[in-house]
Amino acid sequence: MDDDDNCGNGELNFSGPTWDFYLQHGKSFNVHTTGFEQDCYDSGFGFPLFTTAFYIACYAGTLFEAGNDWGNNDALPLLDASLGASPLGVRKLGVGGEFDFYFTLSQIPLTNEDQADLGITKACSWQGEVALAGKPFTCTIQVTNYGPGLPRDVVVTDSLTSSLAATDYTVGAAPFRVGSDTASYPCGPSSASGFSCNIGSMPVGVTVTIRVEVTPLKPGHFENKVTFSTASTELVPGNNTPAAVGVDVYLSVPVDIAPGSTTNPVTIGRRGLVTVAIISGGGFDATTLNVATACFGDAEDASQRTREEVHGVAHKEDADKDKDKDLDIVFHFQVLATGIDLGDTTACLKGTTTNGIGFYGCDMVTPVP
C-alpha cells in the first residue's frame, strides 16, 4: 500500500477480494469494513536502517505516529439507510485521505433462494440398559437443510408430556450447534412441557443439533414430539414431523445376589443354583412388585436371561436379616439358564410392577467352575 507519506497518494493499487451477498427485499442491512495503515512501517521498510529497534519502535507506537499500533484501523462511516434515490449500482464509502471501499448493489430474479427441503429427526438415549429414575436421559434433535435455498426464520418446537407430575422431573437448558461449529447458542427457556428454539437461517447441507437433558425423579413414561416451521417455502413437508419418541423410566431396585456373601459366587454347572433377592427398605416394599415378570441373568445380553424360578414362584423372607425384619423377595434360578458365564462380573434383574412400571437392578457376580 502506498500511503500519503512524502510522494505517496494514499491509493491502494490493486483490487481486493469479491464476495456475493444475497439480501432480502425490503430488509435493511449494514456494511462494515476496516482499513489497516501503518505509516511507520511504510516509511522504514526496505531501508538498511530498518533494524529490530526500529521495528519495536513502530510496533509500540513511539516513533513517527502516536498510537501507531496493530489496532490502528480506520473504520468506514455509517452507510445512509436509504442508499439515496437510486440504490442500484456502484456504491462508494471511504475514509478521507486513507482508502475507499466500493460495492455494487444489483437486483436479480428470484429463483430458489427462498425454497428448501428441511428434514428433522429425534432420538433419546441414556446410560445403561434402561432409563432409571434419578438419572438423566438426553434427547437429541437434528434439523438438516437439504437445499437448494436458505430457509428463513427456522423455529424448532419440542413438546414433552409425561405420566409424572411436572414437579417430578426437570428439563435442562437446550443449546444448539450449527454443523461442526464448536460454539453453542441458547434456545428459549425450558419448562416441563418443552422448549422453543429460534435457529434463524440455515446454510445448505448443514445440520443443526439441539440437545436437552431430562431428569426424572420418579419412574414413569415420557412422550417427546418435535416440529419446526420456517418463513420460507418448505419443498417436502412430509419429513417435518417425526414420530414421537417414548421413554420408559424404570424404578431402580436394590438387588442382592447370593445374600450374605461379599463376593457373590455363582457355580457354573448342571446343578448350579443362584439365589437372587430384591431388598426392601427406605420406604421401598419389594413385595409390591409383580415378581412373575422378573427376568434374571447376564448383564450384557438380555436375551440369555430367564424367568424360570426353580420353585415355580419367588417367596418372601427377610433375606438381608436387617433389624426391621421387613420382607424381601427371593428367587432361585438355574445358573445355566441365566446366561452367566465364566468371566462375567455383573448380572441384572428386570421386570414390571403391578401397575406396569418397569423395575431394574444389578449386582456383581463371581462365576466359579
What does the pLDDT look like over 246-294, one tens digit per residue? 999 999 999 999 998 999 999 998 788 999 999 998 888 998 898 899 9
- Give the integer Cα–Cα distance in Å for 188 and 275: 51
CA distances from 189 to 171, 195, 263, 329 (A): 10, 6, 48, 44
pLDDT at 360 over 90: yes
Maximum separation of any 2 CA atoms in the chain, in Å: 106
**Poorest-pLDDT segment among 26-30, 42-46, 359-363:** 42-46
Q: Which residues, listed in sequence order, are joined to residue 122 by a DSSP beta bridge?
A: 141
> Which grid cell sits at 246?
417414548
More confident residue, 112 or 306: 306
Average pLDDT over residues 170-188: 94
Q: Provide the CA 280 distance to its chain's centre, in angstroms.
A: 38
Q: Angle CA(361)–CA(363)–CA(368) in degrees, nearest 5?
A: 140
Q: Which conformational region is residue 307 in: left (phi greater than 0), alpha (psi within -120 to 50 degrees), or beta? A: alpha
Q: How confident is the model at residue 54 (pLDDT cuts 50, 70, 90)?
A: low
Look up the pTM and report it.
0.71
Cβ proximity of 346 and 301 under 8 Å? no
User: In degrees rounded to 5, what are phi and psi of residue 122?
Assistant: -150, 140
CA distances from 296 to 85, 117, 347, 354 (A): 81, 48, 7, 18
Domains of the chain: 115-250 (2.60.40.1510), 253-368 (2.60.40)
